[in-house]
Chain A
């Protein structure tokens, strides 16, 4: 294939990526958009396979077969509630691939006795560094989300100093690698090893509920790593596609941070959350009012407008279908049901939307915070399912609270509030929630899915 044709076909692939992302702008065209982007990827792969420089078709066939089979199996078998973990893993694979391509390219040049130009040298080191950090950081994010390891921030003295030192060491070694003679490979391996350690250390001090920001950021890193690899192998489609993904992740992390009224630096280095009870107003002397399923059923059964506030607890209990069933029932009885989605509800951007879409809730009923906050005052019931910090009025009033200034859903403006919760534990931020002690609030303790199912049974009996 002539080089010019090859380059033009790569351009077509890049255009398909752009158009695909554009079509993700509406739920109606999104699926088509994703497929366009997939066609672009297929085109890029086919064009590359015709490349006369391919070294080993056997390796490629085996590698592609294994990778496709594992990827397909994972994608088909993952539960919607586990989507954050899946995306974390995919980020890790992307970072790992960039690391491996950069590494293989470096080793090839070394063994062939070619001295890379300075720009190739630098971008190779960058793809090793960013790729490694993305790989190990994503695996830690996965472990936190999967609850294989604690979701609480892990901190130790001098953490930032150690991380800074590690980063300086990596930069120093990478620079050294650029000037040492051929065949000296220990700085190369050390850079990879240290960067993998750095990825772990950067993510362990970040708490479980801050994972939306971390995943978005790692998503961005995986894109930037791909871009750097593009510089290394002189391939523009890698540079363009990587940059698109890089900017996407950055924007999503910004949106998340804004929704929590915290800076990116605070999320990454603040070791936020986890110290239950240590901060915020004390709840001593206050009591909560519990409600029975029967009473809650009466409230919901005769409500004109119910606003559901879903949180991470909904995902944990896998209660999305049960919610839909309850909503259908209320609607059949003449009430209206809407869903108020806080931008940071769940463990990744848009997590709640995907769960509710799985349960066939029409996306028109899913309202963003600004859209729905004024509706709460006419709602008969605000049904809070496994959400906590995003409805805590302390964010509005208590200047001493760690979440002060965070935009919240006005669940407390509703005529009555039913909170479904497993127990009285504090939310992720480790602070008491005044909403639970509000005289209008009734607590319905227990597993969300079971409670919802019994509510459905009770309402049917009304």
Chain B
């Protein structure tokens, strides 16, 4: 039970931290913020890596492998597309 309370504590504190961080981000960057935050939510990959594998029936196996695929699309897609956008924001204006 203590472990659960500790996890809830982390969840609540991280939510407040998130609110503080996001409020500082200018509207210009809201699209890359969304795709970047999205890539962070791909952290589910950690869970996917732990559950992927056999031994518990084919449905569980299929769930696990698909989880790795989905989470990886989220992670790689999210970071790559965010980087692509942010590159445009940091590009030097004199490139006329």
Contact = CB atoms under 8 A, between A and B. Distances in A.
> Do A and B actually bind?
yes
Interface of A: 17-18, 20-22, 24-28, 30-31, 33-35, 37-38, 41, 44-45, 48-49, 51, 53-56, 59-60, 62-64, 66-68, 70-72, 74-76, 78, 80, 83, 86-87, 89-91, 93-94, 96-98, 100-101, 103-105, 107-108, 111-112, 119, 215-216, 219, 222-223, 225-227, 229-252, 255, 328, 341, 343, 348-351, 353-354, 357-358, 360, 362-363, 366, 368
Interface in B33-66: 33-57, 59-61, 63-66
A100 B18 CA distance: 25
Instruction: Determine the main DSSP class of B at the interface with A.
Output: helix
Contact of A226 (B43, B51, B63): B43
Contact of A55 (B41, B52, B80): B52
A247 B79 CA distance: 19
Nearest to A233: B47
A219 B22 CA distance: 13
Contacts of A96: 66, 70
Interface in B64-96: 64-91, 93, 95-96
A244 B39 contact: no
Given A22-B24, A231-B4, 6 more contacts: A21-B25, A63-B66, A67-B72, A68-B72, A72-B80, A362-B93
B21 A241 contact: no
B85 A83 contact: yes
B63 A219 contact: no
A236 B10 contact: yes
A74 B77 contact: yes
Given A27-B89, A351-B31, A243 B15 contact: yes
A113 B89 CA distance: 53
A54 B14 contact: no
17 contacts: A21-B18, A26-B26, A30-B29, A33-B36, A34-B79, A68-B72, A71-B74, A71-B80, A87-B35, A94-B71, A97-B45, A107-B57, A240-B14, A328-B96, A349-B30, A350-B34, A353-B27
A62 B65 CA distance: 8
A237 B41 CA distance: 11
Contacts of B88: 354, 357-358, 360
A100 B70 contact: yes
Contacts of A97: 42, 44-45, 47-48, 67, 70-71, 74
Given A60-B52, A246-B15, A31 B75 contact: no
Given A59-B54, A64-B72, A244 B17 contact: yes
B72 A235 contact: no
A71 B75 contact: yes
A20 B86 CA distance: 13
Contacts of B28: 27, 350, 353, 357, 363, 366
A30 B86 contact: yes
A229 B44 contact: yes
Nearest to B61: A59
Nearest to A21: B21
Contact of B21 (A229, A244, A246, A350): A244
Residue in A22, A30, A226 with the greatest tally of chain B CB atoms within 10 Å: A30
Contact of A67 (B15, B37, B73): B73
Contact of A75 (B50, B55, B80): B80
A351 B11 CA distance: 30
Contact of A21 (B37, B48, B93): B37
Given A72-B80, A76-B84, A341-B27, A242 B60 contact: no
Nearest to B52: A59
Contacts of B67: 63, 97, 100-101, 104
Contacts of B82: 34
